[in-house]
Structure formats: C-alpha cells, structure tokens
C-alpha cells in the first residue's frame, strides 16, 4: 500500500523516548504500529528524542555513534535515538521529579530539535507524532501530512495522577481539544478518544480511524525451554499456577497493585493452598520484591518470556483512560484472562465466554474457580478466545484497516 515501483514512502515517527526494546504498554503500542507499517510497504524511522539511562553510559554501547544511536530493528524499520545531553538531562530530571513532559512539548513547538531530526523531516513523506506531547514542529516540512497516534486521553490520566501531574491536566486538555485542528488526522485507540476528538473544532467530518491496542502475535512466540527457564529463575514449581500482572508505573496500575498486595497479604493461606502465585511485571513495581506468594521483577528487558512462564493474565485495573495494552499481550500469549469489567473496556470480550470477570470483593471466588479447573482446559479456553478475537488483536490487520481509510497513505 505504501510501496511504489522502486521506492517505499518514508514515515517518520517522533517519540519522546526510546521505544525498543518494548517493555511498557506505551512502547508496545508505538513499536507495534511502526512494525506493522514497515510490513505494509513503508520505510519507517522512529526518531526518539531521548534514550534510557544505560544509553548515556558507555560510548562504546552497541549502535551508538557519538551523540545518537541507530538500531535496525527489522527490514525497513529503524529507530534513531538522540543522546544529546540537553534532552537527556531534562528527561532524567523530569522522571526523578515525577514531572510531566511539558518541557518537551514546549521545545518542539518552538522548533528546537536536533539537526538529524531536521534532515529526517525534510525527507519524510508522512510524519506521525507519538501522543499529544509531540506537537507538529514548525519548519519547511509544515505542509507535509502530520498525524498523531493517540494512546488514550492524556489529560484524563494527568487528572488522576499526583499533584504535579494533575496540575497540568487543564493544560493538556486544551492541547487535546486543539489536536483535530493541528494534525491532518489522528489514529485513535478506542471509541472514547475518537468521540472526544470528533466533538472538537475541526474534528467533525474527520476519519479518526481506530487502531486498537493490538500487538504483533509473532512477538509472543518464544523458544522452547524459555518457560521452564523463567519459572526456575522465579522459583515457581510445576505444580504451582502463576498469574502475571504486567503494567507501567502510571497511577491506576500503582493503585491496582496496592489492592493486589493487600489481598495477597490477607489471603496467603488461601493462595498457598490453591497453588497460586502472583508475579508483578514491569515498572508498576519500581524495584523487585517478594512477599510470600506475591513477587515483583521491577523493569524487565522483555515481557514475552515472562508471559510464557505464566498460566494466566491478571488485569486488576478499575480506572484509567483508553484501553489496556496488557490485555492484548495476554491474549497473544494465549493466556486465560482474569479481569475486572473495567479492565476489558474497548474490547469485544464477554464475561465467562472470553475471560473470568471479577471485582475486588469477588477476587477470591474467581481465583478459586480458576484453581479448580484443569490447566489444560484453561489453555484450550485461551486458544479459543484468541481464535475468535485475533482480528481485533493483530496490530498489522488493525493498521492495514486504518490506513486504508486515509488517502495520505495511498501513495
């Protein structure tokens, strides 16, 4: 679709932070869309404005070339990460102070960007901004198609955050309300943000195609032996069933983790007798810990190996915005899902038919139900759910459908 004889059209995705390897839901959404576009005939460059902590250490790190690094991730998919100290220090300070990326929006809005990004924008055919934190950059490329990838409604997440974050919710709401006027179009993630953008000035009559939070199914196939290796590292026996809760450190995840910790603390005997253990995966728990049947890894380089080691996916979220990427990762890993009703918002999943539904007051009964049924039956259940819902979870099919609605991608 993006390919013409002898030339692939070039898509530049501007991200505030390095995307690969993908170890948070935000990384998975952006990285999966980029990978899908590269497979659908486009030459894709992700330009990330800041790296991860380790990127600023050794100057001999793989892929590093002075003040930037280049990673060839797949045929026709490259990520270039800017490692200049200015952006890096601002990003580090923001994270340590738990301060939202207001500074990033301000710099980009003024056209203060690295020289290599300027060259990339000059040669781009289409430019995608990863979330409203990345506004269109003024310059000779302004007349090119600029589109935004929405992950959720950011102002609602800020409003649910701590004091520093909630203080900027009104500011972000103004930015998101103006988005339909600033971008050629917006890839939405659910009916929630689609309806919001359509109600704004410039939103009516827009396509605003939905790309739900799908994933690349092939990314969740792991080599033989990985399951056994990870379970051995975690100290999980063959007779135990491991439930995994994967999440980043944003407020609804952190609150849900606290509820899970309190449940595990007060139900240790039940969980042990039922042969259940719970693994918390990702930055929702900043550091690793073990509290009886509950354990956490902190950040991990890759999520799929840990999902392969699990027997079910737990989604305890009760508030937030947009959809949960973790849910689609569980499905792609062929895990039966245990979730709150809120956790499956924005999907076509039905209670009992597609997942085990619970609310905080009924978690013990739901886990008892899961523990009593043979694991082979749950594995067959999960495979049947994946077969029914694959088209709604496969990011390549979702992206193919979305770009087919936009003439900018027709070539």
Task: Give the whole-number percent of the chain exceeding pLDDT 70.
Answer: 97
Superfamily of domain 3-215+395-409: Glycogen Phosphorylase B; (3.40.50.2000)
Residue-wise pLDDT for 125-148, tens only, equals: 999 999 999 999 999 999 999 999
Q: Is the pLDDT at 320 greater than 70, yes or no?
A: yes
Q: Name the least confident of 54-58, 156-160, 278-282, 288-292.
A: 54-58
With bands split at pLDDT 50, 70 and 90, how would you rate the model's confidence at 259?
Answer: very high
Tokens of 333: 């890993």
Residue 25's φ and ψ, nearest 5 degrees, are -60, -35
Per-residue pLDDT at 321 exceeds 80? no
Write the pLDDT tens digit of every residue in 171-199. Answer: 999 999 999 999 999 999 989 999 999 99
Please give the pLDDT value at position 1: 55
How high does pLDDT run on average in the chain?
93
* pTM of the predicted structure, to 2 decimals: 0.88
pLDDT at 301 over 90: no
Domain 222-393 indexed as CATH 3.40.50.2000: yes
When pLDDT is cut at 50, 70 and 90, the band that residue 4 belongs to is very low
**Of 81, 16, 17, 21, the residue nearest 45 (C-alpha):** 81
Distance CA 129, CA 146 (A): 7
Report in angstroms the alpha-carbon separations of 268 from 273, 337, 359: 9, 22, 19
For the ranges 2-6, 93-97, 173-177, 368-372, which has the lowest average pLDDT? 2-6
Instruction: Give me the sheet containing 64-65, strands edge to edge.
Output: 64-65, 68-74, 77-82, 43-48, 10-15, 126-130, 146-149, 185-187
Q: What is the pLDDT of residues 69-96, one digit of tens each?
A: 999 999 999 999 999 988 888 888 888 8
User: Which tokens belong to 382?
Assistant: 């999960």
- The yes-or-no verdict on residue 5 having pLDDT over 70 is no
Question: Domain limits of the chain?
Answer: 3-215+395-409, 222-393
More confident residue, 402 or 325: 402
First to last CA, the chain: 7
């Amino acid at each position: 679709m993006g390919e013409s004889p002898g030339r692939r059209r070039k898509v530049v995705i501007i991200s505030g932070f390095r995307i690969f390897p993908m170890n948070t839901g935000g990384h998975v959404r952006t990285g999966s869309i980029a990978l899908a576009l590269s497979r659908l005939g486009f030459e894709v460059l992700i330009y990330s404005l800041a790296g991860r902590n380790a990127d600023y250490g050794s100057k001999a790190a793989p892929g590093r070339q002075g003040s930037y690094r280049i990673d060839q991730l797949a045929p026709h998919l490259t990520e270039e990460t800017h490692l200049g100290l200015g952006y890096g220090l601002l990003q580090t300070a923001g994270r340590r102070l738990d301060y939202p990326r207001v500074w990033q929006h301000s710099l980009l809005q003024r056209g203060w960007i690295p020289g290599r990004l300027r060259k990339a924008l000059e040669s781009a055919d289409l430019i995608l901004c990863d979330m409203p934190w990345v506004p269109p950059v003024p310059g000779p490329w302004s007349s090119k198609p600029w589109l935004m990838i929405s992950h959720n409604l950011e102002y609602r997440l800020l409003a649910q955050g701590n004091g520093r974050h909630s203080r900027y919710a009104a500011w972000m709401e103004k930015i998101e309300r103006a988005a339909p006027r600033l971008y050629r179009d917006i890839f939405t993630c659910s009916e929630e943000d689609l309806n919001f953008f359509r109600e704004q000035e410039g939103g009516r009559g827009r396509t605003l195609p939905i790309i739900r939070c799908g994933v690349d199914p092939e990314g969740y196939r792991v080599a033989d032996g990985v399951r056994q290796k990870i379970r051995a590292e975690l100290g999980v026996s063959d007779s135990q069933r491991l439930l995994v809760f994967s999440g980043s450190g944003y407020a609804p995840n952190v609150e849900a983790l606290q509820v899970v910790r309190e449940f595990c603390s007060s139900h240790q005997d039940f969980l042990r007798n039922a042969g259940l253990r719970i693994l918390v995966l990702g930055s929702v728990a900043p550091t690793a810990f073990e509290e009886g049947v509950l354990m956490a890894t902190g950040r991990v380089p890759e999520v799929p190996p840990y999902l392969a080691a699990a027997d079910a996916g737990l989604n305890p979220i009760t508030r937030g915005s947009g959809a949960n990427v973790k849910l689609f990762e569980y499905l792609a890993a062929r895990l039966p899902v245990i979730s709150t009703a809120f956790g499956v918002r924005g999907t076509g999943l039905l209670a009992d038919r597609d997942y085990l539904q619970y609310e905080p007051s009924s978690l013990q009964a739901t886990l008892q139900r899961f523990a009593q049924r043979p694991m082979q039956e749950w594995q067959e259940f999960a495979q049947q759910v994946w077969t029914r819902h694959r088209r709604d979870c496969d990011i390549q099919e979702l992206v193919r459908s979305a770009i087919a609605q936009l003439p900018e991608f027709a070539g």
